Structure 1
Amino acid sequence: MRYEIERSELWVLRHHPDPAPLPGWLLLDSLRHCSGPVDFSEAEAMDWGRAVRNASLLVKQITGCQRVYAIAFGEGAQHLHLHLIPRHLDEPGSKAWAVADLYRAMDSGDRAATDSAVVVTMVQRCRSLLSTRG
């Protein structure tokens, strides 16, 4: 619940848990256990685009990034976790596949993770923005 931003009948939107590679790195997860779009129910398939668009817009709004990468592998856990990664054009570490190196460097301790307090602030800001949208 600490990282959870929003929950619907189909999806859970949350911030990447600690350690987070970048502030504003969100995850859109299917509520029902499924490996990805190939396993979507009709309702999930119909709602997917809206959910991804809205979550991506939120990433841009809270981070000021110019682009949002959407990546899902489904290998670490055989469950859909769509990574929504802020891409800042002035930050080479967030460019294309370099974001994977950024993640590995953080995981190995060669790069500091995002401060936990910043993650908490991001989650609170997201919740606040969504509550004002109605």
Structure 2
Amino acid sequence: MSEKCFICDKHRGKINTSGITIYEDDYVYVGHIDSNDQLKYIGHIMIDLKRHVPTLGDMTMEEASAFGIIMAKISAALMKLDGVEHVYALVSGNSVPHLHMHLVARYINTPKKYWGPMAVYDWEDAPRGDENEVIELCNRLKIYLEGH
């Protein structure tokens, strides 16, 4: 772990995020992303690599396998459980040099002008909820993963 890293601090318990842990193993941690909004966009999930590395190319094959499998499972769960027609996947690393992937749900009937991993946030009718609704989604995803 790095001493000056947002994600490492999150894993140490120094930073609170929305919802609950959706999944965790030796390699990855999965949770709902936090936002400063009172009503959060429901379905913005983040997969963190536990080991502090900056990019996809820095992963071991074991980490890459765990990362890819959980990405596919979470995406499938969102699509089966919550009326999601597409899941955007984004790895940037520009502001936080610790490998993490954003999975952002795009719901059925999202107008085309709001398609895109961050554009969905601008849709006034996008599914939003409070902390309890985020926790409900996390629990649904967690239960789905336990069965698959």
Question: Same-fold call, TM > 0.5?
Answer: yes
Q: Hey, what does 1:95 align to over in structure 2?
A: 115
Q: Hey, what does 1:49 align to over in structure 2?
A: 68
Q: What is the distance in 1 between the residues matched to 2:119 and 2:107?
A: 16
Q: Is the 8 A contact 2:87 2:104 kept in 1?
A: yes
Q: Hey, what does 1:38 align to over in structure 2?
A: 57
Q: Hey, what does 1:5 align to over in structure 2?
A: 22
**Could you tell me how far 1:113 is from its partner in structure 2?**
5.5
1:100-130 per-position Cα deviation (integer Å, ceiling 9, x unaligned) = 2454x69xxxx99632221111112122222
Q: Is the 8 A contact 1:62 1:122 kept in 2?
A: no
Q: What is the distance in 1 between the residues matched to 2:61 and 2:46?
A: 22
**Could you tell me how far 1:24 is from its partner in structure 2?**
1.7
Q: What is the distance in 2 between the residues matched to 1:131 and 1:49?
A: 17
Q: Hey, what does 2:9 align to over in structure 1?
A: none
Runs (4+) of structure 1 exceeding 3 A deviation are: 18-21, 111-114
Matched residues, number:
126
**Partner SS for 2:140:** helix
**Partner SS for 1:66:** strand
Q: Is the 8 A contact 2:55 2:98 kept in 1?
A: yes
More helix by share: 1
Instruction: Give the partner amino acid of 2:145.
Output: L
Q: In the alignment, does 2:120 pair up with 1:120?
A: no
**Partner SS for 2:22:** strand
Q: Which runs of 5+ in 1 are unaligned?
A: none
Q: How does 1:56-67 map to 2 (within 5 A)?
A: 56-67=75-86
Q: What is the distance in 2 between the residues matched to 1:53 and 1:67?
A: 12
Q: What is the distance in 1 between the residues matched to 2:45 and 2:78?
A: 7
Instruction: Give the partner amino acid of 1:39.
Output: D
Q: What is the distance in 2 between the residues matched to 1:132 and 1:112?
A: 25
Structural RMSD (CA): 2.7
Q: Which runs of 5+ in 2 are unaligned?
A: 1-16
Q: What is the distance in 1 between the residues matched to 2:89 and 2:40?
A: 15
Q: How does 1:70-89 map to 2 (within 5 A)?
A: 70-89=89-108
Q: In the alignment, does 2:148 pair up with 1:130?
A: no
**Could you tell me how far 1:94 is from its partner in structure 2?**
4.3
